[in-house]
Amino acid sequence: MKILVITHDTQPYHAHKAKMRWTRFPYLFQQLGHQVTYIYKQDWWHYLWTYWRFKPDVVISVGKVAGLITGFHHLLPGKRHAVFVHDLTDHFALYPSEKRIRFFRRHHDYVTAPTRYNLVTYDGDDLIPNGSDFVPRKEKQEYDACYVGQVVPIYNIPALIDACKKAGISLKIVTDIPNEEVPQYIAKARVCVYPISWDSSIKMYDYAAMAKPVVAIKPNLAELVGYPAYYTSDLASGIKHLIQHPKEAAALGAAAREWFQQTSGTWMEQAKKYCAVLEKYVTQGGA
């Protein structure tokens, strides 16, 4: 297939420290033998020219602006060769309004998502979960808890840091490092922390892939997809509970690994699933 991907990304796969969903997928699609053209944020202005030159079988837009570009293109008169797909963000609150996602639903042929919540809420077509290439590993335990990911305001990390300090919990914050270095930090923690309330963050899969017990904030959409974690409204007390009950923590970690194997897999396995879905879309044609 010829696949055109447009996102808010600004640099290629090898330049990224953190390998996110749409940093990985285009690279893996190429590894699977597909022709891929990637339009970065700074190149949005010549999207139409790239489309006409490349003549893709599939156009995939990712993000709240890229989806507008492809959505308005989809509105143009005339017969389109390509199938238009929009992949919804993994966080239900990152779009400025529900109207925008409704626009994406109407003006793309198909909608995919890594989150079951968004897929159901916005009448999506196919669920493609995130993956992880991490594996369980043994390291000397050096701190009580570990959080991996961004520290932007919606994650409320300062409150987590403060709560852990007050409770005497050693907390490791892992952010802005190369992806291949992350597993060693996860492995050195007794417990991992999931302080956000949605059902598809990559950190969910990375923790589970490494069979780590997880303390997660409650209420949480992750509960709706059966993600094994110790759910609590007080993360610090939850961390202490699992540290004080190592057998319970070990069982939770084993359950997380099993959940990962049943619901997700490696990024290459997820890329193969995504390509199978795209081939189905191309066969069916645009809606």
Residue 163 shares a structural domain with residue 234: yes
pLDDT tens, position by position, 209-218: 999 999 999 9
Assigned domain for 190 exists = yes
CATH number at residue 8: 3.40.50.2000
Instruction: Report the chain's mean pLDDT, rounded to a whole number.
Output: 93
- The whole-model pTM stands at 0.93
Higher pLDDT, 181 or 17: 181
Angle between the N-to-C axes of helices 66-75 and 98-106, in degrees from 0 to 180, rounded to the nearest 10: 40
Same domain, 108 and 21: yes
Specify the residue for token string 């044609």: 285
- φ, ψ for residue 124 (rounded to 5)? -80, 175
Confidence label for 257 from pLDDT (cuts 50, 70 and 90):
very high
Instruction: Among 38-47, 58-67, 76-85, 95-104, name the one with the lowest average pLDDT.
Output: 95-104
Same-domain pairing of 84 and 115? yes
State the pLDDT at residue 79: 81
pLDDT score, position 100: 83
Beta strands in the chain (DSSP E): 2-6, 35-39, 58-62, 83-87, 110-113, 126-127, 143-148, 171-174, 189-194, 214-217, 230-232
Rg (CA), the chain: 20
Provide φ and ψ at 137, rounded to 5°.
-150, 150
| 104-122 average pLDDT score | 92
Q: Same domain, yes or no, for 116 and 163? A: no
Residue 10 belongs to domain spanning: 2-131+266-284
Report the domain count for the chain.
2
Signed CA dihedral, 264, 266, 270, 273: sign only: negative
